Structure 1
Amino acid sequence: MNSKKWIKLWALPFLVVPIVGAVNYLIDPLWLHSYETPFNQKRYNHNERVQKSGYFQYATHDGQYDTLLLGSSRTTLYQQSDFKNHKVFNYACAGMMPYEYQTYLDFVNASKSMNLQHIILGLDFFASRAYKTKRDLSFLKEMKENKELYALKQYLSFDAFKYSALQLYHIVRPPKHDVPTLVGRAKNRFYTPRNTVIEEIVNPDIVEKVAHKRSDYWPGMTFSETYTEDLSRFKEKIKDYTLTVYTTPLSDPFLVKLYSNKDLRKYYFRWIKEMVGVFDSVYFFTLPSKLSKEYKNRCKDGDHYYPSSTKKIIDIIEHRSSIEKYGIFINKKNLDESLTYIENLIQHFQK
């Protein structure tokens, strides 16, 4: 190989790497800054755990938040700005399980940029299922201990470049709101540079079809034998904070499948008892209600409710609105009465 080819070969990385870094910085697929560019107005969620952690670590200002909101994808649709009594950071991620809560709490506290006073938990029935393995959250340790180096590595990485290309692709060709896409539970949430979900309304006729198809994802579910233990361990660590617990709503098609399955119905009542047993009180919205009945205009797929609908739940748990017709408030004192009420509600619902 002659000298000119060697020079070109050696020079190539010095040309490519800066381009990769510049593209990744402009598009910011890992949410490492809050600057707004023409390419990050609509941020695609390829991995909310990494992205929201990056946003909190690098784009959060001291005193900006005092409340941590944790939950699954159903809770990602609760807008931070809709909370009026709390300065909320929505750390909810797709498929978040109770055993993860403590890891995120430790990460937030280690940053020392949040004067944490409150915790809000959005619990859902699906997260009470048994799990065989735990998620690898080791990236949080590197992000926390090597803040500058981690960011530099991400900006210069070809993995991040791949996500930049994916974000550009979804900007040019947004995911379809059709039955196959929504039934497949495609990651089609988009965010603003301020960690706010962009509400995208789906045709009600499509929502109806999707909800009936997706409501089948529970068969084979078994209840986690460590559910109470996972919740209790977390509660033990948050004694210094005020706590609000609520459950996310489900559509009528989902509730029909849940109540008509003997095992799922048994797990459902066990779930209620264990939640209340650990946390003393819960705002309970996972039952037949105005939200479940009007699901075609309130959610996109049967269990992910639009921000315009979750705002009502926020108003209720912040005491600005009545819970009547939307759910019930359950505590240890009224638990038996509440369980009887739900049983009667189910019987009427199934007629």
Structure 2
Amino acid sequence: MNPYRKFVIVFLSLVFLILGSTASFIFFIDPMWTFGHAHTYNDHQLLIDERQQKSNHMYFQPFHHRTLLIGSSRSTYINQDDFIDMDVYNFAVSDMSIREYESFIDSAVKANKEPFETIIIGVDFFKSSLQESAEAKNLDNYLETLHEPFYRYKNLISFDLLKYAWKNFNKSRHNVILEERNYNRNNVAFAKRIDEVELENVVAEKVERFRQVFYGDTYEYNPDYRAIFHQLQVKNPDTDFIIFTTPISTPLFEALVEKGRLPDYERWLRDLVAEFGEVQHFMYPNSVTDDISHYFDGHHFYPEIGTLIANKISGHDEDVPADFGVVLTNENLDEFLNVIREKFSAK
């Protein structure tokens, strides 16, 4: 055989062997959630890009649910299976803006092939500011990506995804959670545990950041806040909306009050109650938020608190602390706000 030809054959054989092995391993672990198989060696999935991963999951696997949950990273820690007698898909992602809600709902409805009976939205007070909600955002780029020709198969020869696949493999093999958020193959998020000393430092740092950045002098309530939610109801007339507020730790709530944001907090709740009639409210000092061990940074709660929220919303609250969660309506909103004002004016 011609030496040159032999070299080409050997070289191409090695290339195909490497590409084939890479593609097989990435497919086996499936770090971008485009194929859907589950096993012992891929049950710990790293957070790469939730918007893309969850969009992939909806579009490339069988998808049909009666209820959709959206919200920021706080809401990602709510197990969709903890809503009793409710068929829920958790489409919450990191740093979701209220300006993204419409595109998230539209894309999920399209994947579902029919409107959802119920849409649950986890709302965060700090996202009510112009700083956090003025910019128009949507899912268009992510949806365009997943519809690219051969998108799923091009991922199989990505060196970056090979690295993620290897990390997923090792974490699954050793059954460890080392990041703030890992997922299993059923779209359920888990969080790493931190010790008491580290927690106190992290919470202090996070409270100061919120005091300066999110609750500080640059905070300005978005005057279009209610109108954005009104548009969601107009576009989804056959869907019931459940709105809940995400529970931040009491030290973080105290920082909100100290920075003079209590009037904005009141306006926020009034807008939500006026638009939806009622709000499942958890963001106020109570026995759950008083205990900072329920959080890993002061505003992201651990999944077990997400379970309490899900149980409360779905009406199975036998194991939920009595003071955790109140349904705010036009009838009791003033009374609730008076209690909050009195609590902090007495300090």
Place the TM-score, normalised by the shorter chain, in its bin: 0.7 to 0.9
In structure 2, relative to structure 1, the CA distance for the partners of 1:116 and 1:213 (3 Å cut) is: same
Amino acid in structure 2 at the alignment position of 1:149: F
Percent of residue pairs identical: 26
- Partner Cα separation in structure 2 for residue 59 and residue 243 of structure 1: 26
Match of 1:270 in 2: 267
Match of 2:49 in 1: 47
The match for 2:193 among 198, 201, 220 is 201
| Residues 232, 278 of structure 1: 8 Å contact kept | yes
The Cα shift of 1:156 comes to 3.3
- Partner Cα separation in structure 2 for residue 143 and residue 227 of structure 1: 30
Match of 2:316 in 1: 320
| Residues 70, 120 of structure 2: 8 Å contact kept | yes
Q: Deviations over 1:205-228 (max 9, x none)?
A: 432332121112222332334423
Amino acid in structure 1 at the alignment position of 2:36: S
The match for 1:18 among 17, 20, 44 is 20
The Cα shift of 1:2 comes to 5.3
Match of 1:220 in 2: 213
In structure 2, relative to structure 1, the CA distance for the partners of 1:310 and 1:141 (3 Å cut) is: closer
List aligned pairs for 1:25-44, cutoff 5 A. 25-44=27-46
| Residues 83, 314 of structure 1: 8 Å contact kept | yes
In structure 2, relative to structure 1, the CA distance for the partners of 1:345 and 1:327 (3 Å cut) is: farther
Query: Does 2:287 correspond to 1:286?
Result: no
| Residues 142, 150 of structure 1: 8 Å contact kept | no
In structure 2, relative to structure 1, the CA distance for the partners of 1:275 and 1:217 (3 Å cut) is: farther
In structure 2, relative to structure 1, the CA distance for the partners of 1:229 and 1:170 (3 Å cut) is: farther
TM-score calculated relative to the size of structure 2: 0.85
| Residues 44, 188 of structure 1: 8 Å contact kept | no
Query: Does 2:246 correspond to 1:251?
Result: no
Query: Does 2:240 correspond to 1:242?
Result: yes
Q: Deviations over 1:163-191 (max 9, x none)?
A: 32443465679675xxxxxxxxxx52111
Number of corresponding residues: 334
TM-score calculated relative to the size of structure 1: 0.84
The Cα shift of 1:23 comes to 1.7
List aligned pairs for 1:102-251, cutoff 5 A. 102-112=102-112, 116-129=116-129, 130-131=131-132, 133-135=135-137, 137-142=139-144, 145=147, 149-168=150-169, 188-198=180-190, 200-218=192-210, 219-221=212-214, 222=219, 223-251=221-249
| Residues 120, 243 of structure 1: 8 Å contact kept | yes
The Cα shift of 1:114 comes to 6.2
The Cα shift of 1:241 comes to 0.6
- Partner Cα separation in structure 2 for residue 250 and residue 161 of structure 1: 37
| Residues 66, 114 of structure 1: 8 Å contact kept | no
SS of the residue 1:119 aligns to: strand
